[in-house]
Amino acid sequence: MSSKPDVLLSPSSPASSSSPSDLISNPNSAALNVPKSTPTRTQIPTINLKIAPSLQHLDVSLPEYYATHPETDALIIGACIFLPPLEPISNFPNPNPDASFPASTATSSSPRHMPMLSSSSLSPPPSSSSSSSSSATLSNPPAGNPTPKILLVQRASTETGFPNKWEVPGGSAEVSDGSIFATVARETLEETGLHVTKIVREVGPEGAGERGRKFMIRTKRCVKRTFEVRVREIESLKRSTGTDSTTRSIQQSDVPVILDPLEHQRYAWIDEKHILNPKAYSPQLSFATEEQRQDMLEAFKRHRLGH
């Protein structure tokens, strides 16, 4: 079955300021003698983030995180945003679902300038009966719920690392963020123009009691931790109709995604079947790494199950 690709384009841009060398290092690391300095940022008022109880232990500053994770030199985060976000009513018996999510006291910094996008529609993907080689399985959403889609962004063609590859929004944690969840909020705002209001769950592989992808960039021992989040722009659309996400289908064009063209050139709302089988999408989806694609599939799974 063919599906229309909802991809928006941004103008061409100069070389990105985001690269592996921009990683902020753990000053406690024995492998690195001098921590990289962070750029000066203007502080903005406290972010009223709602944090899932299971994630409260991660609501700490970057120095505090490094102190308890001496094996990590650099922390990178990713943000999974779904449209429409599925929140089973059974998970929130309280009329105010945010009541079960304590607020974070984290602070963040002001975003870079993010120009508006020009839009263009690419050709729809051809019909394909080919099956995915992935071992993951696709299940239907609950009755009455539209098929969820995840927000992906395509790296700029001028990026030194993984140019033109697709990924979820995210980036390196900085000491000035206040906490790693403030990093989630800042990076999401910088890269998509969307305001994170809630950290719902962590996704990705689990090991030693914690999730996260471990990898090396030169001599740096990096960890990427990815979280499913809610954003104000989608939550406001739900509230404006007096309905919840299980009964109101929000259109992709309703969500005002704004890219930073220094880092990303396109964005798209992609359903699970095209993460499973990227060749069925047109143009074919190409991810930065296979591990990132697997994390996207894990995010869909946990999103459906609600845990």
The pLDDT tens digits of the residues spanning 221-249 come to 999 999 999 999 998 887 765 555 444 56
Q: CB under 8 Å to 118, separation ≥6 — which residues?
A: 9, 10, 11
C-alpha span between 123 and 125 (Å, rounded) = 7
Classified as helix, coil or strand, 38 is: coil
Q: How big is the CA angle at 227 (ends 201 and 66), to the nearest 5 degrees?
A: 105
pLDDT score recorded for residue 207: 62
pLDDT score recorded for residue 196: 96
Which of the residue ranges 4-8, 52-56, 103-107, 137-141 has the most confident prediction, judged by mean pLDDT?
Answer: 52-56
Look up residue 179 and give its two tokens: 């906490």
Q: Which amino acid is at 206?
A: E
Q: How big is the CA angle at 221 (ends 219 and 223), to the nearest 5 degrees?
A: 150
Q: CB under 8 Å to 59, separation ≥6 — which residues?
A: 51, 104, 106, 179, 180, 181
Is residue 12 within 8 A of residue 157, CB to CB? The reply is: yes
What is the secondary structure of 103-122 as a DSSP string?
BP----BPPPP-PPPP---P
Report in angstroms the alpha-carbon separations of 198 from 24, 53, 149, 189, 218.
25, 11, 18, 13, 34
Mean of all residue pLDDT scores within the chain: 72
Asked if the model's pLDDT at residue 76 lies above 90, the reply is yes
